[in-house]
Structure 1
Amino acid sequence: MGRPPNLYSFTDVDKELAPNLRKYVLEQQNEALKRHGVFRVAISGGSLPKTLAKALLALPSGSEEDKVEFDKWEIFYADERCVPLTHEDSNHKLVQEELLNKIPKEMPQPKVFTVDEQYLDNAQEMADDYEKKLVSVFAARDSVKLPLFDLILLGCGPDGHTCSLFPDHPLLRETDAWVLSISDSPKPPPKRITLSLPVVLHGSKIGFVATGGGKKDILKKIFETEEGSELPCGLVNKGAGEKVSWFCDSAATEGVSFPKRGSVM
């Protein structure tokens, strides 16, 4: 077994967690731009976009390393709901309201890959269409087994789910498809699409954001129990090890005995 994931714990979300998350994201951005001139990131919904916006929209320090180069970003969705892009349940609407609409108009804008609304009634067709978008960006299907995101940013549900991968669901056993459909989500809305677990594990870096006292029980389970290691978030920890970094506040990590770090090096 490789090295374990990194668990960061901060007393204050705005003053400590957000600046450290910014440093982490921009490290991945700068590495990606050196490698291939573009930064490909997959983003989930929930409370993540709000914290991410606090991190990315903060005033830069002036150093080259601290510059958000949105014009080189390609943003994908780690999961999405089969609803119109203007619907309250849409992850895109959430990211748009919390982050995209707040990027100053004079700044170059990122390229965003949304789901196609013509497939709202058929989750499988929507998943197939979104997978085709990934194939067109990451390479022809026959030459690349899995898309390689530079960074995947995720949340953690109170049941240990991430993306739209839920505990004990058959989708966790999928090994070939890049994008999966789900029509029986235990959390509404029932019809969704999601990146598959192998795609998540293949990411260059994977970051979780989990804050608030409501997360402490599930984090304790994920980091300290065998049962928790089989939950979707636990499977990411187990499968990707040191590629994974958790950004949490002290309320979420209260009582968690797994070694915690106080800042991104």
Structure 2
Amino acid sequence: MPVTVVDINCDMGEAFGQWRLSETDDASLMELISSANIAAGFHAGDPNLMDATVRLATQHGVGIGVHPGYRDLQGFGRRKINGTSDEIINDIVYQIGALREFARRHGANLQHVKPHGALYMELAADEALSRSFIKLMRTVAPNAFVFCMGMSQTYRTAIEAGHPVIREFYADRDYDRSGSIVFTRHVGKLDPAAIADKVVRACLEGKVRTVDGVDIDIDFESICFHSDTPGCLEIAGNMRSALVANGIRIAPVSEVSAQQAYAIRGSK
């Protein structure tokens, strides 16, 4: 079934003090997205930046999400940090709480939780850790969406638990045959037009080409791109324009989720 309404999410606030990773300021990107995944101090971010990014999101009507990662500023959260399940879950609790209070300060709610980098990939593969994570979500943020890949343990566990969940399509990452993104720490310059074509095809045909040249089916409710990808502003602009030109509306995840549920009911 073609996607007619979709969320666009992007990782935001990924800096620390005077250090900046992205070549593009978050304010420019906020105009092109509907959901922001905001770093909460472990892989990037600090209290002043979290406050500023939440304020920007509320000003632009963008859904606020926390982007918890491993405590790894030097490696930008893209290295696995070994720890017990309790240690990892407690780090997530800490980051959810911090970002949620900044959202509350600005009169906003926490829309979603999207783990970052190596933590995202670990949760996708580790059933026990995913169960601990979703159990945590049911307790501390039962109404907040979890963002994850459709093929992940995270998604399967959320569905089993009846927790709100959003599947992502990665605009600026490659896929393997399993439907997982190919994890990378460094992304080079990409072709914005090619990315726009890839995204539109995924929406209209439900297909994506893998790294070894095979087409696979892909289902999703949100499109992700990264603010640290070189040329991210041009990528976002091209992608959004191509979606709109093909009759695909950009909307917050709450509306996307409601429309998907209606479509599923109507097809039965």
Interval of TM-score (by shorter of Structure 1 and Structure 2): 0.3 to 0.5
TM-score, normalization by structure 1: 0.34
What TM-score, normalized to structure 2? Answer: 0.34
Higher relative contact order (CA 8 A, sep 6+): 1
